[in-house]
Structure 1
Amino acid sequence: MVASAQHLITPLCSQAYLSDDVADLAQIYQPGINLCLIERQVDNELNSFVEHLLKLSNPVSFVESIDFASFDFFSLLPQTGYLPGYREFCKDVAALTALYCDLFELKRVGLRLNTLDHAMYPKFHVDSVTCRLVCTYGGVGTEWLEDAYADRRKLGSGSGGLSDELSGLILDDNAIHKMPPYAIGLLKGRLWEGNEQHGAIHRSPMLTSNSPRRLLLTLDFG
């Protein structure tokens, strides 16, 4: 659990900034920080909507580059509009998108919202983006690894085709962190100027019988 006061996890090359204040997302601009994680609480109505949605048999898939000022967020998932809490969910996605646009002075963003029943990217990696916002609405959250406990030489082809657990990438299994449900994560990628070699290391989590699906929101520069 993230403490109420912000604190730093300090690896060798770059840092993760943990907080429960959304204003601290601005810390991502600090040169030595490659991940900001803001833990938050949501109301019961929003949580109830997400729980119901994850039980539906039909998958959710929304992928679109949107103009924030003109996009109707209540049109996100019209097939689920009958569920209690739908409007609260749409308002929350709109609020996160507004934060992202304000932080990076963007008019357009790439918005992706999917239900997942498998680990889409099961190996630790760095994204070829500038900075991605990640939020898991219910289900198991994204895993990330501190620089101090990762051998970056083992990323990608450097793994020799071996799993993260066998390649030597992970220097301490206890250093693997998991983003809590509803937490806001900002992850610098390779395209952030000056951060080409220090993007945030992360992977999709393995799902469990108790939590077989997750609803993932990602936002990218549009």
Structure 2
Amino acid sequence: MELAEKLSLSTWRSDDSPLVLSDIFSPNISVAIWQRQASSVISCYFENAFQSLGMGMRSVFSMKSLEQELNNTLPEYEGKKDAIEDIYLLSDMLTCLFDCDDVGLRLVPLKSAMCPTFHIDNIPVRLVTTYLGSGTQWLPLEALQDQPPKQQKQGFAKTNSGAYYKQSHIQQMNPFDVGLLKGKAWDKQAKMAAVHRSCQLQKNDKRVLLTLDPM
């Protein structure tokens, strides 16, 4: 398929309504993004708590115990209650959307890019949001090419999966945006796996990333 024809398609959706997240079930959608307002209370909490977060949290939690686990683990700073409520809200939305009881939660403080190259995840789907710092970057599938035009090779870069893209094709979520990204293990839709990466961080930059997997 020629690039011009591919670009007339759209493999992603974004909206200021959380209902847009259900678009991830469309066979033609790779990324669905709920564009929501940032919370200064929550971002200030993670700014103040950054050092105390240590290595962060990585575990599978049931919805029944999640709030208590977060309360026991997260450090005590102003805004903690708001942060816990938001993490619980997103987890509840995810478990309702995918009809499951548990979430694989990862909440990590970062000073460097965790996954700096464009790649796809070998999972069915993942929710991502950034509470502090810059958001996740991703590529519309319709912009990827198997081979760059011979006359323009220098203007293209290569993803981990071997596809080519231009810098101008890179999209980026805003802080507090909530994205659902299909993975390679989505049922019979490996070709729709989202191509994404962590944003590049400069010296002294800080980032707090939340990812949730339905379990």
**If the length of structure 1 is used for normalisation, what is the TM-score?**
0.81
d(CA) in 1 for partners of 2:146, 2:84:
38
Structure 2 gap ranges (5+): 1-5, 149-155
Question: Which residue of 86, 108, 111 corresponds with 1:114?
Answer: 108
RMSD (Å) for aligned C-alpha atoms: 2.4
Partner deviation per Cα, 1:172-200 (whole Å, 9 max, x = no partner):
21110111001101000011112112201
Partner deviation per Cα, 1:120-170 (whole Å, 9 max, x = no partner):
21111110000100011111111101112223689xxxxxxxxx8367844
Q: Does residue 195 of the first structure (1) align with residue 189 of the second (2)?
A: yes
Q: Which residue of 1 aligns with 2:153?
A: none
After TM superposition, give the deviation of residue 171 of structure 1 in Å: 3.0
Question: Which residue of 64, 69, 72 corresponds with 2:67?
Answer: 72
Structure 1 residues 106 and 148: alpha-carbon distance in aligned structure 2, compared to 1, 3 A threshold: same
Q: Which residue of 1 aligns with 2:35?
A: 39
d(CA) in 1 for partners of 2:109, 2:24:
27
8 Å Cα contact 2:18-2:34 kept in structure 1: yes
Partner deviation per Cα, 1:88-142 (whole Å, 9 max, x = no partner):
0000000000010000001011111111111121111110000100011111111
After TM superposition, give the deviation of residue 23 of structure 1 in Å: 1.4
Q: Which residue of 2 aligns with 1:165?
A: 157
> Aligned runs of 1:206-217 on 2, under 5 Å?
206-209=200-203, 212-217=205-210
> Aligned runs of 1:1-222 on 2, under 5 Å?
11=7, 15-54=11-50, 56=51, 59-73=54-68, 75-76=70-71, 78=73, 80-81=75-76, 83-151=77-145, 165=157, 169-209=163-203, 212-222=205-215
**If the length of structure 2 is used for normalisation, what is the TM-score?**
0.84
Identity of aligned residues (%): 29
Structure 1 gap ranges (5+): 1-9, 155-163
2:45 is matched by which residue type in structure 1? Answer: F
Q: Which residue of 1 aligns with 2:3?
A: none
